[in-house]
Chain A
Amino acid sequence: NAGVTQTPKFQVLKTGQSMTLQCAQDMNHNSMYWYRQDPGMGLRLIYYSASEGTTDKGEVPNGYNVSRLNKREFSLRLESAAPSQTSVYFCASSESQPNEQYFGPGTRLTVT
């Protein structure tokens, strides 16, 4: 039981490049989330998916797109990376009850 896994662990992009961050969970959870963590800003929700087939915007969705590929997988895409998107990205998942969120190890992204 791996929990929540994320790939890649590290990535360096040039401004304007695109990439997709992958997330998978093996706990059969309905809900999945993408957060970013920045010094001084804490953790902020980018997008979430309450169930397979649905996605909703969080606090900071601009510049990102998501896909809930199936119940296990939830990907985050940066279409045209900007230096402001340099951050650590975390994926999380939860079940409706007791609604406890479990986090992946993170992806450290640098945009130059």
Chain B
Amino acid sequence: KQEVTQIPAALSVPEGENLVLNCSFTDSAIYNLQWFRQDPGKGLTSLLLIQSSQREQTSGRLNASLDKSSGRSTLYIAASQPGDSATYLCAVKKSNTGKLIFGQGTTLQVKP
């Protein structure tokens, strides 16, 4: 059974710092991996999608990498800003049938 773990559960950094959020999964046979952002009381916003054949994806200050063999993905946030404060969730899909398995999330606080 696929399990997704995100460590740490919470992270607090000063504004301007570069940071890395971690996601690990137990079954390396994945179809894709998706990173989401969730603001308090809101829905999930898709940040980046990495297909199983890809090693990384970039969007603005965000860069996500995927290493299937080690069962890991990282989300790199450059030059963090207070507006980046949110919970970040990663989720993996085993096949194209659509079942996403989510991690518990990392709650990020960026202090001004």
Contact = CB atoms under 8 A, between A and B. Distances in A.
Contacts of A105: 42-43
Nearest to A97: B96
B99 interface: yes
A98 to B, nearest CB: 6
A73 B102 CA distance: 24
Given A43-B89, A104-B43, A99 B96 contact: yes
B102 A94 contact: no
Interface stretch (B44-52, B60-68, B75-83): B44-52
Given A43-B89, A98-B51, A90 B43 contact: yes
B107 interface: no
B71 interface: no
A45 interface: yes
A50 B99 contact: no
A42 B103 contact: yes
Interface in B30-48: 31-32, 34, 36, 42-46
A67 B51 CA distance: 30
A33 interface: yes
Nearest to A6: B43
A75 interface: no
Q: How many interface residues does chain A have, given as a range?
A: 20 to 34
Interface string B96-110: 111110111100000
B43 A100 contact: no
A101 B43 contact: no
Given A42-B104, A42-B105, A101 B99 contact: no
Contacts of B49: 98-100
Interface of A: 4, 31, 33, 40, 42-45, 48, 50, 58, 90, 92, 94, 96, 98-106
28 contacts: A4-B43, A31-B98, A33-B98, A40-B104, A42-B104, A43-B44, A43-B100, A43-B102, A44-B102, A48-B99, A50-B98, A90-B43, A90-B44, A94-B98, A98-B32, A98-B49, A99-B49, A99-B98, A100-B49, A101-B34, A101-B46, A101-B91, A103-B44, A103-B45, A103-B46, A105-B42, A105-B43, A106-B43
